[in-house]
Structure 1
Amino acid sequence: MPLLERVGTLLRSNLNDLLERAEDPEKLCKQLVLDMENQLMQVKTQVAMAIADQHLLNKKRKEHADAAADWRRKAEIAVEKQKDDLARAALERSLHNEQLAAGFSQQIEDQTAETELLRNAYQRLERKLTETRSACEMLIAQNRRARATVKANAARGAALGQKDAAVARLKDSVARMQASNAASHILLETDSVEDRIGTLEREEKIETLLRELKERHPLLSKGS
């Protein structure tokens, strides 16, 4: 039966192997569960139909068995009445119904075997579906935790990156401030040297003017 072949394929499937080869394991899990649920529903319907057919066959077998017994009683009555022709006709009907009952008995055996096969397939597929659901729920939870971990790591990385950038900016600012202070200090020192040199130059110029003045006025020079 094509249905049982499909069920057999699902039962033989190795979930781990399928998930390892899948591009999107979570999507594959959901599809597998959906396929199994659909197949399980079909098998359940087939089991119900097989059981109904089995009951119908039992009913038909019983009807023909009862008819065969009834015609045999009629044949006995005909014999008692010395009606051999009627007895023969009744016996013929009885044999015909016995043959039909035997045929239905064989069909019942076949139907019972098919019903049992469908029941076993249903039970196995039901267990497989339960296992697949559990495995898929675990896988989906693992994938979600993994994605959450990746996002958390990315967020921590971004935060650390921002922190490092802030520290770097602070260090750069401090370095610039230190450089500015050093430059200001150098400028102040330069101004101080220039001031001292300027003072010396002025003092020297004053002395030069004083000598020139003394040279032009000897008397002032002697008095000093």
Structure 2
Amino acid sequence: MGTFSRLTDIINANINSLLDKAENPEKMIRLIIQEMEETLVEVRTSAAKQIAEKKTLTRQLRAQTDKAAQWQEKAELAINKGRDDLARQALLAKQQCQPVITDIEAQLLQVEELLESIQTDSNRLQEKLNEAKQRQEACVKRQQTAEVRLKVRETVKFEQIDDAILRFEKFQQKVDGLEAQVEAYDLTEAKTLESQFQALEAEESIEQELQAMKKNVVNA
């Protein structure tokens, strides 16, 4: 059994509501689209038949109208020739065409109204079909996204990533320690060098003072 039973059901259908209630929305949207496309084909087939019928009726109407016009011309010709008897027969034949013309015109009106109705329904059905295809496209994208996320989770071991990050942090801490040792060594070396120069300066000061004392002793 199809999702819809009549064209009106499709046109008035709330696709979102149908999908929300469906156990398998993806399958449901496929069925909806399939039934809509099949119904649209039927509608177009019906429209084609009605268009063909309209052409046939139009052709018949033209033939009857031409026939009535011909009888009118014959009646006028008979009157001009003084043949009132023939004119009467021609007018009678013309009158007999009128019911046929009236009937064809009524049929044409019905066909045109039906074609207009089919056109309206076809447009609304196409809109519903477009809506359903948009929902299907959205479902496909959601499914693809979910599949990608699932594949990522299946292939990527987040525990391994966390472990790698932890090991990198430990390595970074080790490098920081080595750099700190180098900086400490540089700092210590710098102080030692400075103290050596201070010692040299102190020795020079003492030597100058010693020489000055020797001069004083000699001079005394």
TM-score by length of 2: 0.65
In structure 2, C-alpha distance between the alignment counterparts of 1:121 and 1:107, rounded to whole Å: 21
- Paired residues for 1:23-38 under 5 Å: 23-38=23-38
Q: Cα offset for 1:160?
A: 4.5
Q: Cα offset for 1:49?
A: 1.3
Which residue of structure 2 aligns with residue 84 of structure 1? 84
1:70 aligns with 2:75: no
Classify the secondary structure of the residue corresponding to 2:36. Answer: helix
Measured against aligned partners, the alpha-carbon deviations of 1:12-43 in whole angstroms (never above 9, x if no partner) come to 11111111111110011111111111111111
- Paired residues for 1:155-174 under 5 Å: 160=159
Which residue of structure 1 aligns with residue 20 of structure 2? 20
In structure 2, C-alpha distance between the alignment counterparts of 1:25 and 1:147, rounded to whole Å: 17
Measured against aligned partners, the alpha-carbon deviations of 1:42-82 in whole angstroms (never above 9, x if no partner) come to 11111111111111111111110110111111112222223
The one-letter code sitting in structure 1 at the alignment partner of 2:136 is: C
Which residue of structure 2 aligns with residue 133 of structure 1? 133
In structure 2, C-alpha distance between the alignment counterparts of 1:39 and 1:160, rounded to whole Å: 54
Which residue of structure 2 aligns with residue 207 of structure 1? none
Residue ranges of structure 1 left out of the alignment (5+ in a row): 165-224
Which residue of structure 1 aligns with residue 143 of structure 2? 143
Measured against aligned partners, the alpha-carbon deviations of 1:179-199 in whole angstroms (never above 9, x if no partner) come to xxxxxxxxxxxxxxxxxxxxx
Classify the secondary structure of the residue corresponding to 1:110. Answer: helix
The one-letter code sitting in structure 1 at the alignment partner of 2:87 is: A
- Paired residues for 1:204-219 under 5 Å: none
Classify the secondary structure of the residue corresponding to 2:6. Answer: helix
TM-score by length of 1: 0.63
Classify the secondary structure of the residue corresponding to 2:108. Answer: helix
Measured against aligned partners, the alpha-carbon deviations of 1:96-135 in whole angstroms (never above 9, x if no partner) come to 1122112111111111010111111112211211121011
The one-letter code sitting in structure 2 at the alignment partner of 1:81 is: K
The one-letter code sitting in structure 2 at the alignment partner of 1:129 is: L
Q: Cα offset for 1:152?
A: 4.4
Classify the secondary structure of the residue corresponding to 2:59. Answer: helix
State the aligned residue count. Answer: 158
The one-letter code sitting in structure 1 at the alignment partner of 2:86 is: L
In structure 1, C-alpha distance between the alignment counterparts of 2:155 and 2:26, rounded to whole Å: 24
Which residue of structure 2 aligns with residue 104 of structure 1? 104
Cα RMSD after superposing both structures: 2.3
In structure 2, C-alpha distance between the alignment counterparts of 1:143 and 1:89, rounded to whole Å: 80
Q: Which one has a bigger Cα radius of gyration?
A: 1
Question: Share of identical aligned residues, percent?
Answer: 29
Q: Cα offset for 1:143?
A: 3.1
The one-letter code sitting in structure 2 at the alignment partner of 1:77 is: L
In structure 2, C-alpha distance between the alignment counterparts of 1:136 and 1:79, rounded to whole Å: 75
- Paired residues for 1:32-51 under 5 Å: 32-51=32-51
Residue ranges of structure 2 left out of the alignment (5+ in a row): 164-220
The one-letter code sitting in structure 1 at the alignment partner of 2:18 is: L
